[in-house]
């Protein structure tokens, strides 16, 4: 009897170990797409000596290299590795075709210059009213203005998720993924009512995960002493790479290139190392959270299996309960 108990315990222990190993090997996040915003003829925002496309490429390459080091079993794919033109629709299609599980888009923000004006004097303007004999001459004093602009001092980070009014676009993208992977992964058929509902539920799940990742990224920035505007949405104008990618997606505004101090920081080795390390740390932590949730679900399922009736002493199965 004692040997049977030991054997049974060993079997259960082995079962749980293999279950955990299986869960870890079946990570929720197998492929991460890193996108350097803009590029080529589209240089994005401009600072006093650099462009958004230049900075985003440098940051994206650093983020990709760190992710490969921290997550050696995860495929890391860059949308671009050089200064090429890449429209946003092409970026989204590229991410979808490569079956990404996370889309990390890196950008640099800009703020319009502040306009100033000052009255420096007055001038007399002559004008006429009426016609013929009724025509009269008038004079009027008008102010003369001196106008100029100064750089906008705005600074800090912010991470965007797609806007709530763009859920339909996201659902369409998810449905396309269902169609391409249905036979392989058993995901719902989007052409059926059940599949359409399922795609909406996946959108909600992706949105929640995107917000979670965005919050973690901004939290890491704050710990590095950066001012954070938090998790943002652009409702009046959607962000295509967020709404058209069929995966959780965030767009990171790493700072304001129109602020000279921010531009210097984002171009410096120190600034780029700090920003890329913060982004990678948040992604790794997010992946660990997702995988732990998956493992916990697997263990719960295993517990349910453990609690089911076992084989009787005669070797026959316990009768199955009939469902109505």
CA distance 68 to 269: 20
Of 61-70, 204-213, 217-226, 315-324, least confident by mean pLDDT is 315-324
Residues 85 and 188 in one domain: yes
Q: Is residue 54 part of a domain?
A: yes
Residues 229 and 251 in one domain: yes
Q: Is residue 255 part of a domain?
A: yes
Residues 141 and 172 in one domain: no
Residues 72 and 171 in one domain: yes
Residue 155 φ/ψ region, left for φ over 0, alpha for ψ in the -120 to 50 degree band, beta for the rest: beta
Q: Is residue 210 part of a domain?
A: yes
Cβ-based neighbours of 268, under 8 Å, separated by 6 or more: none
Look at residues 226, 89, 265, 238 and name the one whose alpha carbon lies nearest to residue 168.
238
Q: Is residue 288 part of a domain?
A: no
Containing structural domain, residue 158: 27-110+153-274
Residues 186 and 136 in one domain: no
Residue 134 pLDDT greater than 80, yes or no: yes
Q: Is residue 315 part of a domain?
A: no
Q: Please tell me the pTM assigned to this model.
A: 0.76
Q: What percent of the chain has pLDDT over 90?
A: 60
Q: Are strands 102-109 and 249-256 parallel, antiparallel or unpaired?
A: parallel
Residues 122 and 61 in one domain: no
Task: For the beta carbon of residue 246, count every other beta carbon within 10 angstroms.
Answer: 27
Residues 70 and 178 in one domain: yes
Residues 65 and 100 in one domain: yes
Q: Is residue 119 part of a domain?
A: yes
Residues 268 and 122 in one domain: no
Taking each helix axis from N to C end, the angle separating 88-97 and 167-185, rounded to the nearest 10 degrees, works out to 30
**How many structural domains is the chain composed of?**
2
CB neighbour class for 194 (10 Å; exposed up to 12, middle 13-18, buried from 19):
exposed
Q: What is the pLDDT of residues 287-318, one digit of tens each?
A: 999 998 877 665 555 454 455 444 333 333 33
Q: How far is CA 182 from CA 25, 188, 203, in A?
A: 21, 7, 17
Of 239, 256, 274, the position where a domain reaches its end is 274
Q: What is the CA radius of gyration of the chain?
A: 29
Residues 139 and 219 in one domain: no
Q: Is residue 58 part of a domain?
A: yes
CATH number at residue 250: 3.40.630.40
Of 73-77, 219-223, 238-242, 267-271, least confident by mean pLDDT is 238-242
Residues 133 and 199 in one domain: no
Using pLDDT thresholds of 50, 70 and 90, give the confidence band for residue 68.
very high
Of 130, 150, 170, the position where a domain reaches its end is 150
What's residue 317's pLDDT? 37
Q: What is the pLDDT of residues 13-54, one digit of tens each?
A: 444 444 444 444 578 899 999 999 999 999 999 999 999 999
Q: Is residue 219 part of a domain?
A: yes
What's residue 294's pLDDT? 72
Residues 146 and 157 in one domain: no
């Amino acid at each position: 009897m004692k040997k049977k108990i030991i054997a049974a315990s060993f079997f259960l222990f082995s079962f749980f170990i293999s279950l955990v190993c299986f869960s870890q090997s079946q990570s929720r996040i197998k492929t991460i797409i890193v996108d350097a915003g803009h590029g080529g003829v589209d240089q994005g925002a401009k600072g006093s000596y650099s462009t958004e496309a230049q900075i985003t490429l440098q940051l994206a390459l650093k983020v990709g290299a760190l992710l490969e080091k921290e997550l050696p079993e995860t495929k890391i794919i860059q949308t671009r590795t050089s200064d090429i033109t890449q429209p946003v629709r092409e970026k989204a299609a590229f991410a979808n075709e490569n079956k990404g599980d996370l889309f990390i888009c890196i950008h640099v923000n800009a703020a319009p210059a502040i306009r100033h004006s000052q009255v420096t004097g007055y001038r007399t303007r002559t004008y006429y009213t009426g016609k013929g004999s009724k025509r009269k001459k008038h004079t009027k004093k008008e102010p003369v203005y001196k106008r100029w602009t100064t750089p906008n001092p705005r600074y800090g980070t912010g991470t965007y998720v797609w806007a709530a009014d763009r859920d339909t676009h996201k659902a369409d993208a998810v449905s396309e993924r269902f169609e391409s992977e249905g036979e392989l992964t058993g995901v719902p058929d989007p052409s059926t009512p059940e599949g359409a509902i399922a795609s909406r539920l996946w959108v909600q799940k992706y949105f929640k995960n995107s917000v979670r990742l965005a919050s973690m990224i901004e939290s890491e920035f704050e710990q590095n002493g950066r001012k954070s505007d938090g998790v943002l949405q652009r409702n009046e104008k959607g962000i295509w790479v967020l709404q058209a990618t069929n995966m959780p997606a965030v767009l990171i505004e790493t700072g304001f290139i129109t602020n000279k101090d921010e531009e210097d920081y984002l171009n410096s080795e120190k600034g780029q190392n700090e920003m890329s390390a913060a982004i990678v740390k948040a992604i790794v932590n997010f992946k660990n959270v997702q995988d732990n949730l998956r493992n916990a679900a697997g263990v719960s399922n295993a517990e349910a299996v453990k609690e089911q009736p076992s084989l009787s002493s005669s070797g026959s199965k316990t009768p199955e309960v009939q469902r109505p």
